[in-house]
Chain A
Amino acid sequence: MMDPNIARIVSSALAIVAAAAPGFLAALSGADSDEKALDRAADALQAVPTNPAARGIERWRDALSGR
């Protein structure tokens, strides 16, 4: 039995997603197995940068120093 609060959260989030990104729900359903969902999660994690602010500054540092 789903907690009523969770049901409220889910329905409100779904409404937001449906309004703003209707194609996204279809994309999510592409993970039709645990293994596939875990693979996709791992891929997404790989795309998370490290030290993004420092990297941005570093790009300009390289430009300033002529590298």
Chain B
Amino acid sequence: MTTRSILAPVLLAFSLALYAGGCGSAVRTSAQGVEIAALSLATAGDAISIASEADARSTCPAGSALECLEPVSARWAPVDEAFALASSAVGAWYGATLLASRAGSDDLLGAALEFASRFAGAYAALVVVASRAGVALPQIPAGVLP
């Protein structure tokens, strides 16, 4: 596991906590949370990509027919689906934050908090699905979620 992936849970935890109570304006705090959540997700994506390629290589060594990769793709499809849900949630979190900024109203950040919570749930689901595929993604430490 790389240093970046080891740091991911820390960044993720901090992003959620930062949004929940942090410093500076609410919009800035939420945007910083989005940034860190996105960095964590990108790191997870890197780990998933490397692991799926390694699985493909070991399952279908050089000289194998391309059809050999079909079960590998099927095995990894749920991981990409879970990843897409987490990615969508953090994108929506950013959108809600941007909207609140443009409207000049912190009241709209309630939606951002909702999407932040969805991201946390989607990421936790991604961790479970990825573990079934043999990838140990960092988890959100217990007690950190708002």
Contact = CB atoms under 8 A, between A and B. Distances in A.
Interface of A: 2-3, 5-10, 12-14, 16-17, 20-21, 24, 28, 31, 33-35, 37-38, 40-45, 47-57, 59-61, 63-65
Contact of B17 (A10, A35, A40): A10
18 contacts: A6-B21, A13-B13, A13-B18, A13-B144, A20-B7, A41-B35, A45-B38, A45-B94, A47-B42, A49-B42, A49-B49, A50-B87, A52-B49, A53-B76, A56-B56, A60-B53, A61-B69, A64-B69
User: Among the interface residues A17, A40, A56, which one has the most CB atoms of the partner chain B within 10 A?
Assistant: A56
Interface in B15-32: 16-18, 20-22, 24-25, 27-28, 31-32
B50 A56 contact: yes
B25 A34 contact: yes
A31 B17 contact: no
A67 B98 CA distance: 42
B52 A64 contact: no
Contacts of B76: 53-54, 56-57
B20 A9 contact: yes
Interface residues of B, number: 64
Main SS class of interface, A: helix
Nearest to A35: B101
Given A9-B146, A52-B48, A56-B48, A45 B91 contact: yes
Interface of B: 6-7, 10-11, 13-14, 16-18, 20-22, 24-25, 27-28, 31-32, 34-36, 38-39, 41-42, 44-46, 48-57, 60, 62, 64, 66, 69, 72-73, 76-77, 79-80, 83-84, 87, 90-91, 94, 97-98, 101, 133, 141, 143-146
Contacts of B79: 52-53
A33 B31 CA distance: 10
Q: Which 5 A-B pairs have the closest CB atoms?
A: A56-B52, A13-B17, A56-B53, A37-B31, A44-B38
